[in-house]
Structure 1
């Protein structure tokens, strides 16, 4: 099937993008408003864009009404700082709940039940229990013509890495159970390999569907849920 992207509206194009670009790493972003209110947001349009200096990129959409800028973006824009915390399975519930569109005066650390840890070089706190946290200062902000969609580049000014996973200058990712995004659902990274694989392993994997671990059926899709929003927000 060929789908002409010019025939798609934004929601339709978004559904195809999030089902095609998988798995996507999740930046669990912590920010702080100019009034000191903590905010959390999972961002899965996220990647690294530089090494020296190290930089990351976040793509941030408006809220589910399609018109209002997200609090996390406003905090990043107004303070010039944010922290990218690594999303892992032990914190999947508060991470998922942090996509709820809370009111701006609600401290989302308290609302989703995670504790704050002071950052070293930026004002926004990092998330206690996150094994890796990248403290960032805004490098550039790019705005789409509609003024509602933004890309943020942040320079990583400090890496916080839990002591037990820092080995000879690298991170022991095998000990982390990192969580990624599949369309509107999640996956936990629980295997690793270096090619080539043996023929018997390749034969075993060929055509095999992903194994669901949430007891939903094989044909389940969170995107089909009537409460699903292309903003990434979830219902309380």
Structure 2
């Protein structure tokens, strides 16, 4: 199937992007408002974009109403600071809950039942228990399109890495963290790793096999088909 992207509405284009870019890393972003209210949100349009200085990017859409700017964006714009926390399986439920659209005056750490750890170089707190966190200062904001989307670039000022996963030579023990990523509107956990090539017999056993589910949902289920889903990256309450 060939789909002409120039004729797609934003929701249709978003569905194709999130269902095709797999898996997507989740930047679990903590910020503070100008009034000091803590916000927490998972951003899966997230990646590293530079080495010296180390830089990350976040792509942020408006809220599900298509107009209101997300608290994450407003807080970063207004304060110039944010923290990106790594999502792992033990905190996946709290991460998912933090995708709901809480009112701007709600401390989302409290709302989802998470504790805070202080940062060193920025004001927003880190997620206590996250194995890796990046303290970031705003570098630049680039508007994208005409629907209120923005790309935020941040310079990493401090890396926080849990001692047991920091290996000699500065390598992260990626196999020990149970990293959680995004699959369209669902999640996946890193349960295996490989270095090519794989044996043909093994490849044959895996050909065409669907991923296994860790919940009780049927094969082919997607939250995209539910009323709670929105094309904003947030979940409706």
TM-score range, shorter chain: over 0.9
Q: Distance in 2 between matches of 1:94 and 1:224?
A: 22
The gaps in structure 2 that reach 5 residues or longer are none
Task: Provide the residue aligned with 1:185 in structure 2.
Answer: 186
- Cα distance change, pair 27–33 in 1 and its aligned pair in 2 (3 A): same
Aligned pairs (5 A) from 1:169-180:
169-180=170-181
Task: Provide the residue aligned with 1:53 in structure 2.
Answer: 53
Q: What TM-score does the superposition give when structure 2 sets the normalisation length?
A: 0.97
Q: Distance in 2 between matches of 1:99 and 1:109?
A: 12
Q: Distance in 2 between matches of 1:75 and 1:4?
A: 36
Q: Distance in 2 between matches of 1:145 and 1:233?
A: 19
Task: Provide the residue aligned with 1:67 in structure 2.
Answer: 67
Report the more deviating stretch, 220-229 or 52-61: 220-229
Superimposed CA distance per residue, residues 126-165 of structure 1 (whole angstroms, 9 cap, x where no aligned partner)? 0000000000001110012426111000000100000111
Task: Provide the residue aligned with 1:215 in structure 2.
Answer: 216
SS of aligned partner of 2:160: strand
Task: Provide the residue aligned with 2:7 in structure 1.
Answer: 7
CA contact (8 A) 2:230 2:236 kept: no
Superimposed CA distance per residue, residues 173-199 of structure 1 (whole angstroms, 9 cap, x where no aligned partner)? 111000000000000011000001112
Task: Provide the residue aligned with 2:207 in structure 1.
Answer: 206
1:4 Cα offset (Å): 0.6
Q: Distance in 1 between matches of 2:227 and 2:8?
A: 19
Aligned pairs (5 A) from 1:1-236:
1-146=1-146, 148-168=148-168, 169-236=170-237
Q: Distance in 1 between matches of 2:10 and 2:47?
A: 22
SS of aligned partner of 2:136: strand
Aligned residues: 236
Q: Distance in 2 between matches of 1:59 and 1:40?
A: 15
1:219 Cα offset (Å): 2.0
Q: Distance in 2 between matches of 1:84 and 1:226?
A: 29
CA RMSD, aligned part only?
A: 0.9
Q: Distance in 2 between matches of 1:151 and 1:233?
A: 17
